[in-house]
Chains A and B, each alone.
Chain A
Amino acid sequence: MKDVLAESIIISLIALQPKKAEITVDYNLITPSLAKCVTCMGACKGGCLHSCKGGGKSGKKGR
């Protein structure tokens, strides 16, 4: 594989990058997904530190 963040990778990425004018959503209004963060109510913004106790991924409905 290529080196870490090699210039050739960046060039390939720029070719894939949409133009800013194509962005229709104001990114400042986007709230990061909270779906993972069941313990901390999303405070970790996807970083999911509720792994500090290993929990929260069961997906089981319970009783």
Chain B
Amino acid sequence: MPSSELNFSPCVCLTHKCNLSCIYCYQKNRCGGKMTFETAQKVVDWIFTHVPDYADKVEIDFIGGEPLLEFTLIKEIFSYVYKIRPEIPYIFFATTNGTLLTAELKQWFIEHLDCFQLALSLDGRKETHDKNRSNSFDSIDVDFFLQNYPEQGVKMTVSEYSLPNLADNIVYLHSLGIKEIEGVNLAEGNFDWNKDEYIKLLIPQLKMLVDYYVEHDDLIPCMLFDKEINICETGNKERKKWCGIGTGTPFFDIDGKKYPCSFITPMTFTENELNAIMQTDFSDNEKFIDDDCFSNCYIYPICPTCSGANYLINKSFKTRIKSKCRIQKLVSLFIADLQAKRLIKNNGYINDEKDNTKLYYTIEAIKKIKALYLEEYVKFGI
């Protein structure tokens, strides 16, 4: 089951190297270096002496590049943390491309299942995955992840190449037994998601996915759909950052230097940009809220944004990448459609519960989303 604990989740970058070259990778400035064990010790010491009061547990997220390229260092860090015996519970986590798991690595990870979680990046069927992720599909032992990390979702990133087969790819991942599909994030960076051709491609895919998730209403919809639209009706929207940038998600680069999150690093930004970024007061939520979106967009509470990507494109944390607006509004229509059809199928029950308040506001949100956005997409054959 998903944890309801609040983790302190620092990222530790073990290496800038990666054995793949994914088409959507935003880490354009990787230097090829790696972290030393001495640096890793200092980072670990910092982490366990700076655990925020809110945290119930520390989750150290190894990241790269491809973190499993530094398996020896992973084992050294693991042993070091065990030796210092932190007072707070801890767990290690790494997202991997899955291509480097030799028999030796698999055995080690199996022996440490209680405190080391691996998650796989997988973009769907071989054809799509290979196009996005350097022909790596055949190098991945998906069964290893399914057998040993059955509750862990996979991370799926959507590129323009994914769109024509998006539904098939998501259905395929579910057919493998993957319960949750994390991500399904629209690739960050210089993709122009505003293009008409993407809207045309996406509409039939989203229709197929709605039909699939209505038929299989025991499944948690992939993250693209898994939004609580009733929140849009909440009157007191909070002026909060969308993510933990600069506060809950510190990132330690290979030299031990700390950055605000895994997006804002020397792998993606220049030194001058980083110097400017580091002057930001990350505790000030107002610096991260797009006032236009907050005040004028009905789906603001369910519209994800990456502050780091906003800065990359707009040189501002406040200003969201507006090229995603059309697609987000389109997606909200299909979220509403899915929730409407599931409600009708299940006679008003939401996840086996009848919550009149939530039901009332979910239906209000469905009606409003239709009234606000449907007309715009009629010309695309929605």
Contact = CB atoms under 8 A, between A and B. Distances in A.
B218 to A, nearest CB: 18
A49 B304 contact: yes
Contacts of B336: 5
Contact of B91 (A3, A9, A62): A62
B4 interface: yes
B5 A9 contact: no
Given A51-B182, A59-B2, A62-B57, A33 B228 contact: yes
B235 A5 contact: no
Contact of A52 (B2, B90, B262, B382): B262
Interface of A: 1-5, 9-10, 12-14, 16-18, 20, 22-25, 27-30, 32-36, 38-63
Contact of A57 (B3, B121, B249, B261): B3
Interface residues of B, number: 90
Contacts of B302: 45-47
B201 interface: no
B363 to A, nearest CB: 4
A5 B370 contact: yes
Interface centre among A9, A34, A40 (most CB of B within 10 A): A40
B344 A40 contact: no
10 contacts: A1-B210, A13-B344, A13-B367, A16-B347, A24-B357, A39-B9, A47-B227, A55-B9, A55-B119, A59-B1
Contacts of B242: 40, 43-44, 47, 49
Contact of A63 (B54, B90, B155, B180): B90
Contacts of B337: 4-5, 9
Nearest to B339: A13
A46 B231 contact: yes
B4 to A, nearest CB: 4
Contacts of A58: 3, 59, 91, 93, 117, 149, 151-152
Interface of B: 1-7, 9, 11, 54, 57-59, 61, 63, 82, 89-91, 93, 95, 113-115, 117, 119, 121, 149, 151-153, 155, 180, 182-183, 185, 207, 210-211, 214, 223, 226-228, 231, 233-236, 238, 240-244, 247-249, 261-263, 301-306, 333-334, 336-337, 340-341, 343-344, 347-348, 356-357, 359-361, 363-364, 366-367, 369-370, 374, 382
Contact of A44 (B3, B7, B304, B343): B304
A5 B115 contact: no
A13 B180 CA distance: 27
Contacts of B303: 47
Nearest to A46: B228
Nearest to A39: B9
Contacts of B2: 35-36, 57, 59
B359 A4 contact: no
B17 to A, nearest CB: 18
Given A1-B207, A12-B344, A39-B244, 20 more contacts: A4-B207, A5-B340, A13-B340, A13-B363, A20-B360, A28-B235, A30-B234, A36-B2, A39-B249, A40-B244, A45-B231, A46-B302, A49-B243, A53-B11, A56-B59, A58-B93, A60-B91, A60-B117, A61-B89, A63-B82
